Amino acid sequence: MNIESLRAAHCVPRKGKEGGLSAAEIESGLALLPDWHRDERTHGIRKTFAFADYFHAMAFVNAIASIAHREDHHPEMEVSYNRVSVHYSTHDVGGLSLNDFICAAKVEDLRAA
């Protein structure tokens, strides 16, 4: 797994434990995504993004919604005035799948643009 392959990939349905990632695969994926971290409480990954104001935070949320629609993989988001916390996990595998890292890489691309 590398960042270019994540950016180019698309989500596919993943189910059961066989669709999940090992601890080593999760650590490898996190190493590619700056400031993303494991959320042990939810068995997912999370990152909080800061913005100048509410307008820019909401534009970011809408861009993530577009990714979620295209990939059919939807994050949980918490929005405040100038912050957006993005959380990915795959309920059908009971933890993390490759889909979570694919979408997180695409979210990172939004921030770089």
- Please give the model's pTM, rounded to 2 decimal places: 0.94
Sheet-wide strand order for 76-79 = 37-39, 44-50, 83-88, 76-79
At the fourth CATH level, the homologous superfamily of domain 3-9+20-112 is Transcriptional coactivator/pterin dehydratase (3.30.1360.20)
- 50-78 confidence digits (pLDDT tens): 999 999 999 999 999 999 999 999 999 99
Residue 69: in which H helix or E strand, if any?
A: helix 54-71
For the chain, what's the residue count? 113
Q: What is the pLDDT of residue 74?
A: 97
Averaged confidence pLDDT in the chain: 95
Domain locations in the chain as residue ranges: 3-9+20-112
